Structure 1
Amino acid sequence: MLELPEAKIIARQLGETVCGREIITVVMNNAPHKFAFYSGDPIHYQSLLKGQRFETALAYGGMVELRSHDIRMVFSDGANLRLHDKGVQRPHKHQMLIEFSDGTALSGVVQMYGGLWCFKESTFENAYRKAALEKPSPLTSAFSKDYFQALIGLENVQKLSVKAFLATEQRVPGFGNGVLQDVLWSAHIHPKRKVHSLDLSEKDLLYHSIREVLGQMLSLGGRDTEKDLFGKNGGYYTHMSKLHAAEGCAMCGGTISKEAYLGGSIYYCLKCQKL
């Protein structure tokens, strides 16, 4: 799933590859998916994009956006994007396939749910996109300690668990259940801890863990549980994930527990992250 680090990486890769290439064909909804979301009828994407050249690629929150003049192509967290070289077979099933004049192609496949929105700027509204555009990213200096302390100090979040606070309601756009695990492990905070139970030092440590762990994920090409535009796994070793949980805690050697919580799996060390 696209979260903050992967969105930044894929946007950079798109800027280095597909930007500048002429679009000749757009095929949408080849394999209908109940939770693939489009802006209007996807059959109109062809008329919007044919003959265009994407000029820039950017990321905000867990979204990736391609721009051509006033045309926007936006991908949300569940859209898996792949670049295909000339002559390489395209996926048989997909929710998007954009062919370029040089023989390359960009495909989009929705995993669980995801948006593939194409529209002229100011003609499409989406609350998640709006929040992601307006709120500061933890990967930027705008996500300051003062900003975070004000956010975590809000009265209406005090009874929430730390997972609910960070990974729901777009409080921190692009910060999802995936990146959450190592951030909380690094901060020695249990995902179910209530926000009001955190003291000032724990809040400070959480802020620095968010900044530092996300920075590491970005610098290492994303998490090893996710793939980039070329299908390559990231280089960041996810300590708290299905890939490595059985290896135990890298800090204390203790057992890593896994359980279902708030619509996803959480991982935590029984010694380092006490509830």
Structure 2
Amino acid sequence: MNLAEKQIISNQLQNAVVGKTITRAIVNQNPHTFVWFALKPSQMFCAHDANNTVALGYESLLNGQIIEKAEVIGGRLYLFISNRALSIDFTPQYFTKNTKPPKRHQLLLMLNDESYLSFTSSLGGALFFIKIGENGWATEGGFPSILTDEFSQDFFLNLIKQTELRSLSAKAFLATKNRIPGLDNTILHEILWEAKVNPKSKMKILNESDFINMYNAIKKVFPAVIQSGGLDTQKDLFGYFGGYITQVSKKTLGKPCFRCGCLIEKEAYLGGVVYYCPECQPFIKS
């Protein structure tokens, strides 16, 4: 999830599940190689828990506990439950009474009003459940949030200066290695479209004006996505698509660019795909 999604989901969780009691937790019913469980920092991202030894420890810690709050801290989404925080890397789904939750899930929380909170991932992610304050867990923000004033233009330009750019493309700089927590491929294309920068263009040949355009696009797109309830390609806690109309996505592929009318293109790149307008976002070769 990108930071905008996490903020939206956090707000929805705050209204939908905070204050409710977990009556039963079902953990890792359908194991996923890249869904990670940990009860302490030393277990994070360790080898797949094939025997469920870590995951099964969640049940006794979750059963009977009250969900106290949902919050985004340092680019991560947490549910605070008793003296622990559940870190959530992928979108959960909430099901009201008399609706059926999915049959497949990595974590299912049954609540005292007979509603459910389900965590099911196709690509993977973390569901760490660690004591608050352990190694700074869920208490320290670290990298400034994109949504704050601390994430300033000077901060962004300095981050670029401190990074060994070499052959890094705009996509690689913005959306890999967690350089900017909360900025991922789900929102990357909208930012680069706004900035008029091609995802494949190398950072070392872009100029400061391009970097400032990227920064301004980040500061524009994230609040707009939150205000709109999410991207129109992503579902929220209740399974609804957001209202932010994407300009470069699977929904606009082959359609005229809103800005210039050129058809939106798609290419395989860096193990995934990129969407862009070839006219507004020309590829600058090194």
Q: Distance in 2 between matches of 1:112 and 1:124?
A: 27
**Structure 2 letter corresponding to 1:47:** S
Deviations 1:122-167 (CA, angstroms, capped at 9, x unpaired): 55799xx89x931112122111111011011225125311111110
Residue in 2 aligned with 1:135?
143
SS of the residue 1:97 aligns to: strand
Q: CA deviation at 1:62?
A: 5.5
Q: Deviations over 1:199-218 (max 9, x none)?
A: 22221111101110111111
Give yes or no for the alignment of 1:81 onto 2:92: yes
Which one-letter code corresponds to 1:202 in the other structure?
D
Q: Structure 1: which 5+ residue stretches go unaligned?
A: none
Equivalent in the alignment of 2:275: 267
Tell me how many residue pairs correspond in the alignment. Answer: 269
Residue of structure 2 in register with 1:21 after alignment: 20
Please, which of 82, 98, 101 is the counterpart of residue 109 of structure 2?
98
Letter of the 2:191 partner, please give it. Answer: V
2:85 is the alignment partner of 1:72: yes
Cα RMSD (Å) of the superposition?
1.9
What is the CA–CA distance in structure 1 between the aligned matches of 2:235 and 2:75, rounded to whole Å?
14
Give the whole-Å Cα distance in 1 for the aligned partners of 2:136 and 2:150. Answer: 24
Q: Which amino acid aligns with 2:261?
A: G
Shift of 1:262: 1.2
Residue 171 in 1 paired to residue 170 in 2?
no
**1:113 counterpart = 2:121:** no
Task: Give the equivalent residue in structure 1 for 2:31.
Answer: 32
Partner of 1:11: 10
Q: 2:167 aligns with which of 154, 159, 171?
A: 159
Amino acid at match of 1:64: L
Distance change >3 Å, CA 8–CA 248, structure 1 → 2: same
Identity over aligned residues, as a percent?
37
8 Å CA contact 1:60, 1:174 repeated in 2: no
Contact 2:28 2:107 in 1 (8 A): yes
Structure 2: which 5+ residue stretches go unaligned?
40-53
Q: Answer yes or no: is the 8 Å Cα contact 1:5–1:214 preserved in 2.
A: yes
Asked whether the equivalents of residues 4 and 60 of structure 1 are also in contact (C-alpha less than 8 Å), the reply is no
Q: Distance in 2 between matches of 1:141 and 1:212?
A: 13
Runs of 4+ in 1 over 3 A off after TM superposition: 60-63, 122-126
TM-score (norm 1): 0.92
Is 1:4–1:61's contact at 8 Å kept on the other side of the alignment? no
Give yes or no for contact 1:188–1:272 (8 Å, CA) kept in 2.
yes
Which is worse superposed, 236-245 or 60-69? 60-69
